[in-house]
Structure 1
Amino acid sequence: MEKPVRPKATAKPTPSSLVTQTYLLAYNAVCFLLWSIVTLRALVLIPTLASHGKLHGLIEALFPLLKWTQTIALLEVVHAAIGIVRASPVTTAMQVSSRILVVWIVLERYPQIVSTTTSWGQVIAGSKTGPIAFSWILLAWGITEVIRYGFFVWKTTISENIPSFLTWLRYNTFFVLYPIGISSECLLMYLALKPAAKEGQNVDLLLKIVLFIYVPGSYILYTHMMAQRRKVLKGKSKSA
């Protein structure tokens, strides 16, 4: 007579794992809240300011919050480096560093590239593209991060079984949002070349180097996200 097979005992979480999980929950929840504020304010302000020909007012209204909200993401490089999340430190650093450069070097040093315009019609005509690029960055970054951090918060607090709509958003919206974000970042860096050259501090050289490596770097990140998408969706189809 065969002995009944006993189910394996579920491993109890260690104190260190509980601390890590609690920390990651707090981090993701704070980031979700901050990015939600940035995104909702952008969704309200962009059409309002654009209709009055004052899209340049976005930099004063949202840049301080955007700057510090994005800067917090430097912790994600640390998370990946010390192994508390399953992510590549290299790709994480590439994703975060490009945005840090945009907020701390391009927009912090040269806000005039997005703070001067005349009317919405002339902006569309291409006379002042900086405010347009900044508005697209707010939307592309904001929507992406609200979805991403919302995904992580749900996974940590509610259930490992993420709703299909949230999984779909997490692994499909980048097809549109990533090209919008990356092209807007490049445009802002390009617009910053002229004021940076006048400073004579080689900041323009740094921006030219970054613009040069954006093409291969963007390809690496884009294909990395596509690989993640295939892996996740393939696992979903097998478990269905």
Structure 2
Amino acid sequence: MSSTAPSGLTRDYLFTYNALNLLTWGTCVLYTASLLPSHLASNNISSIFTATFNPLLLATQSLAILEVLHSLIGLVRAPFLTTAMQVASRLLLVWGIMAPFGGDIVGARSTQLGDYAYLGCVSAWGITEIIRYGFFAITLSGNAVPAWWTWLRYNTFYVLYPIGISSECTLIFKALAPAAQIDPLFRWALIAILAIYVPGSYVLYTHMIAQRRKVLRGKKRAD
């Protein structure tokens, strides 16, 4: 969430929003990570979904709806279309896939592929958002962002984004069968979504690469 140098109440609101998201994503990732050792040892990773999805991941990810509003009304400089695409894909996964089909594609009745895909989403989304929201919270607090945090902000997506996208596609694919039981059109809608995921992912990925180059080029000039 790129800020337009806000001041007063706007700055306070954006700081609170970013700090809250940093806290919620941090809680989600750390709690999920704390469950891994014992659940992996007992080969029971399926129960991690039950323990972390509702309300932890569901509520945490749903806060991102506000980012679309922030971009739409000009509260931040983030491009509206890019922001809407990113948020829409996440909401599709949590509300359209995980919430209705969690038991079939992630959890006790699913295969481990779905469980690992869920963990891939939590880790890729969570680490990315901890870095991003932390970056903006520090900036909005008036402090200088440490160089190592800036490096994380503009480099970790090279690895985390492919992990997130592949995990999302896996969960959507696994949801095709249960979706067809509700309505064949639902299944075809998910197939259509999978078909646009590749070009959509390319647009978002190249946008992030361009943003990285722009920011790092600006930093070199400033130095």
TM-score by length of 1: 0.87
CA–CA separation in structure 2 for the residues paired with 1:38 and 1:158: 27
**Do the aligned residues in 1 keep the contact of 2:46 with 2:112 (CA within 8 Å)?**
no
- Residue 165 in structure 1 maps to residue 156 in structure 2: no
**Runs of at least 4 residues of structure 1 off by over 2 A?**
none
Number of the residue aligned with 2:212: 229
Maintained 8 Å contact 2:11/2:140: yes
State the partner residue of 2:94. Answer: 103
Note if contact 1:54-1:117 (Cα within 8 Å) is conserved in structure 2. Answer: no
Pick one of 18, 21, 27 that aligns with 1:31. Answer: 21
Retained in 2: the 8 A contact 1:140–1:177?
A: yes
Q: Compute the displacement of 1:206 (Å).
A: 1.6
| Corresponding position of 1:81 | 72
Amino acid at match of 2:206: T
Counterpart of 2:35 in structure 1 is 45
Question: C-alpha deviations, 1:195-230, integer Å up to 9, x for none?
Answer: 111112622122111101000000000000000000
1:17 CA drift (Å): 3.6
Q: 1:107 deviation in Å?
A: 0.5
Where do 1:189-228 residues align within 5 Å?
A: 189-200=172-183, 202-228=185-211
In structure 2, the residue matched to 1:116 is 108
How far does the alpha carbon of each residue in 1:145-202 deviate from its partner, in whole angstroms, 9 at most, with x for none? 000000001001042x321101000000000000000000000000000011111262
Cα RMSD of the aligned pairs, angstroms, is 1.4
Q: The residue matched to 1:54 in structure 2 has which SS?
A: coil
Contact kept, 8 Å, 1:55 with 1:117, in 2: the verdict is no
Q: Does the Cα contact within 8 Å between 1:130 and 1:188 map onto a contact in 2?
A: yes
**Partner in structure 1 of residue 84 of structure 2:** 93
Structure 1 regions of 5+ residues with no counterpart?
A: 1-15, 119-126
Find the counterpart in structure 1 of residue 61 from structure 2. Answer: 70
Q: Is the 8 A contact 1:193 1:207 kept in 2?
A: yes
The structural deviation recorded for 1:66 is 0.3
Sequence identity (%): 48
CA distance in 1, matches of 2:182, 2:19: 40
Local SS of the residue matching 1:95: helix
2:162 and 2:201 mapped to 1: Cα distance? 9
